[in-house]
């Protein structure tokens, strides 16, 4: 999408269209929509954190960083979700294997990012944005889980998307991105795909899962995204990873597996026997 379209404005348009479609669907299904100031405040906080902050930083950084690298770094959101899920009175205890997985993940990211900067794939500030992104995504996920609103999860997600669309469109216009908008078919097809599959379907499903499963289980979505991104990046965009970056890839994925399995086993041990 960002090959020919400006990042914030294109993301804003994507979210405005997707949010409108999702809200119309929620209305058609008879879902209860957000109705109170408290609900809207919570929704805005999560929207700004996850969609404007986390997703916005990824969109912006991918002007320079290859999609496969970006997806691998963003996969560390699973590690942040597992760690943040251990905090507070509602938290799940962190075991030694979890700590080990977190340390492995940090090492894998350092290897991946370090090689990317050394090879000149992208400027350092783009990698910094990608490192902040999964932290914000995890923070928004945990806040949403800990502070649920009364409306249906899909209506909640739809409102978040619409809020993000408004904010990111304003940012795009403020940055003068309207002058950089082009009608290149390749990027418009990507915009359409991200609107329908990446937002209406994928984000709607993810946000439903936020309220259905544990933080560790929620993070397992990160097993799939990097693999798909690396395959598609190689196939469609001729993206390549160095040997060191491939090593970092396996370390990151292994760390996510370790953290998720450790958290799941810890939860099983904590459950009363029947």
* Distant-in-sequence, close-in-space partners of 164: CB < 8 Å, separation ≥ 6: 11, 12, 15, 19, 47, 48, 51, 52, 55, 56
Alpha-carbon distance of 257 to 259, in angstroms, equals 6
Q: Comparing 185 with 212, which gets the higher pLDDT?
A: 185
Per mean pLDDT, which range of 104-108, 111-115, 156-160 is the poorest?
111-115
Q: Which residue, among 267, 13, 244, has the nearest Cα to 110 in the 3D structure?
A: 244
pLDDT for position 273: 46
Model-wide pTM > 0.75: yes
Q: Comparing 260 with 69, which gets the higher pLDDT?
A: 69
C-beta pairs of 70-73 under 8 Å, 24+ apart in sequence: 70/130, 70/229, 71/225, 71/226, 71/228, 71/229, 71/230, 71/233, 72/112, 72/226, 72/229, 72/230, 72/248, 72/249, 72/252, 73/109, 73/112, 73/113, 73/127, 73/130, 73/131, 73/133, 73/134, 73/252
Per-residue pLDDT tens for 184-205? 998 999 999 999 998 999 888 8
pLDDT at 93 over 50: yes
pLDDT for position 205: 85
């Amino acid at each position: 999408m960002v090959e020919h379209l400006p990042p914030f404005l294109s993301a804003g348009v994507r979210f405005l269209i997707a949010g409108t479609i999702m809200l119309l669907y929620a209305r058609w299904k008879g879902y209860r929509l957000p109705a109170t100031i408290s609900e809207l405040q919570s929704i805005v906080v999560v929207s700004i954190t996850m969609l404007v902050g986390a997703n916005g930083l990824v969109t912006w950084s991918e002007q320079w960083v290859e999609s496969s690298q970006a997806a691998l770094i963003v996969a560390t959101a699973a590690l942040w979700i597992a760690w943040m899920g251990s905090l507070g009175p509602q938290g799940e205890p962190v075991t030694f294997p979890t700590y080990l997985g977190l340390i492995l993940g940090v090492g894998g990211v350092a290897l991946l990012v370090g090689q990317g900067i050394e090879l000149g794939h992208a400027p350092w500030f783009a990698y910094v944005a990608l490192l902040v992104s999964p932290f914000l995504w995890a923070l928004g996920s945990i806040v949403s889980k800990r502070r649920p609103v009364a409306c249906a999860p899909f209506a909640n997600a739809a409102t978040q998307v619409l809020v993000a669309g408004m904010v990111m469109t304003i940012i795009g216009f403020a940055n003068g991105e309207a002058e950089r908008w082009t009608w290149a078919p390749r990027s418009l097809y990507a915009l359409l795909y991200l609107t329908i599959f990446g937002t209406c379907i994928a984000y709607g499903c993810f946000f439903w899962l936020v309220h259905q499963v544990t933080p560790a289980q929620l993070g397992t979505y990160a097993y799939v995204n990097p693999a798909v991104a690396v395959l598609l990046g190689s196939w469609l965009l001729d993206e390549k990873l160095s040997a060191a970056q491939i090593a970092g890839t396996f370390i990151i994925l292994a760390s996510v597996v370790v953290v998720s399995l450790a958290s799941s086993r810890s939860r099983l041990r904590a459950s009363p026997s029947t």
